[in-house]
Amino acid sequence: MLIVSEETCQKVVGHKNAFTAVEGVFAAMARGDAYNFPVVREAIGHADALYGFKSGFDRAAGVLGLKAGGYWPGNEKQGLTNHQSTVFLFNPDTGQPSAMVGGNYLTAMRTAAASAVSIRYLAREDAKVLGMVGAGFQSAFQMRAAAAQRKFERVVGWNLHPEMLSRLEQTADELGLPFEAVSLDRLGAEADVIISTTSSFAPILKRSQVKPGTHLACMGTDTKGKQEVEAELVAATAVFTDEVAQAVSIGECQHAVGLGLIDESRITPIGAVINREHPGRSAADEITLFDGTGVGLQDLAVAALAAAAVQAE
C-alpha cells in the first residue's frame, strides 16, 4: 500500500490540478456516476474530539475510499492543527487498500478548489473586487484559488477578530493585489465576488449589504446550526451547491429551507452547470450563491491525484 505524507501532498497537489479534480468529481456526481455515502460524525468522549468518516465512490474515475478524521480542540497547544484527517483509497475491483494519504493540506486545497469552481462557472466575467469574510486557516487557500479565476484588481476583507486580518493582507500581497480591511457594508457594496469562510453560528452578511450581480461562495457552514449569511439573502439568490442533500441539512441552505423561504427544488448542483445541463448565471444583475458543504468525493479526488502523481514519479 502506498503511503503519501502531508509533505508529499504539498509537493504534488497545487491549485490547478486540485481544481481539475474537484471540477471532474462535481460533474460525475451530477451525471450520477459518483456518489457520497452518509457521513458519520461522533463526539468520542475523549480529548473533546469529534471524529468521523466521509466516504464515496466515483465509478467514472474508479476511486473508492474514505476520509477519517475530525477535530481535536486541544491540538493547537501541542503545536498541531486542530483539524486532522487521513484518506484511505481502495481498489474498487478487489476492496484491497491501495493508498493512505495525509488529508490536512488536501482538505484546504479541495475546499478552495470548490469555491474556485463556483467562481469560474457563476461569477461575472468582469468581476474586479474580491471580498473575503473570514481570515482563518482556510482563507489564504481560498484567496489563492479564487485569484486564478478572474482578473481581480483588489481584495477587501472583514473578520470578527481583527487581529487575524494580517493573514488576508499577507496573502493578497503574495498575489500582488492591494488589500483593505473594511466594514461589512463596504465589503458588500464593493465586492463582485465574496467568499465567506468562518465558523459562525449567526448570519454575518445581510441581504441589504450585497449588491446585484455578486457571486457568493459560502464555504464555512458545514454543520447543523452554523450560518454565515441571512436566510433572506439565500432566498434572493440563484442557489447552487456541491450536494443538495448536504446543503439542506448541514449547509447554508438549511436555514432558508427550514424557514420555508426556499424549496429544495430551487437548489442546483454545480455539476449540472459544469455538464452544461443548467446555464448557471442567468443575468448580469443576478446574485448567485454557492453553498459549499464539502463532500467526501472531493477528498477522494485530490487524494487519488496525489497517489497517482507519486506513482508516476
Active-site residues, by number, are 67
Cβ 291 to ligand NAD, closest distance in Å?
A: 9
Phi, psi angle pair for 278, to nearest 5°: -135, 135
Of the candidates 246, 251, 209, the one whose C-alpha atom is nearest the C-alpha of residue 227 is 251
The contact mask relative to ligand NAD for 288-307 (x = CB under 6 A, - = no) is ----xxx-------------
Residue 87 CB partners (closer than 8 Å, separation 6+): 65, 66, 67, 68, 99, 100, 101, 102, 103, 106, 299, 300, 303
Nearer to ligand NAD, 98 or 131 (CB): 131
164 forms part of the interface with ligand NAD (CB under 6 A)? yes
171 forms part of the interface with ligand NAD (CB under 6 A)? no
Nearer to ligand NAD, 295 or 310 (CB): 295
d(CA 135, CA 195) in angstroms, rounded, equals: 11
Cβ 204 to ligand NAD, closest distance in Å?
A: 6
103 forms part of the interface with ligand NAD (CB under 6 A)? no
Q: Which of 200, 214, 241, 254 binds ligand NAD (CB under 6 A)?
A: 200
118 forms part of the interface with ligand NAD (CB under 6 A)? no
Nearer to ligand NAD, 267 or 310 (CB): 267
Strand blocks (E) in 209-257: 215-218, 227-229, 238-241
* DSSP state letters, 113-139: HHHHHHHHHHS-TT--EEEEE--SHHH
CB-CB contact of 82 with 48 (8 Å)? no
The residue type found at 94 is T
41 forms part of the interface with ligand NAD (CB under 6 A)? no
Cβ 138 to ligand NAD, closest distance in Å?
A: 3
The contact mask relative to ligand NAD for 134-153 (x = CB under 6 A, - = no) is xxxxxx--------------
d(CA 241, CA 290) in angstroms, rounded, equals: 5
Q: Which of 17, 20, 75, 199 binds ligand NAD (CB under 6 A)?
A: 199
Residue showing the smallest CB distance to ligand NAD in the complex:
136
| 3-class secondary structure, 288 | strand
Beta strand 288-291 with 238-241 is: parallel
Which residues bind to ligand NAD, rule: CB under 6 A?
107, 111, 134-139, 159-161, 164, 197-200, 204, 219-220, 222, 292-294
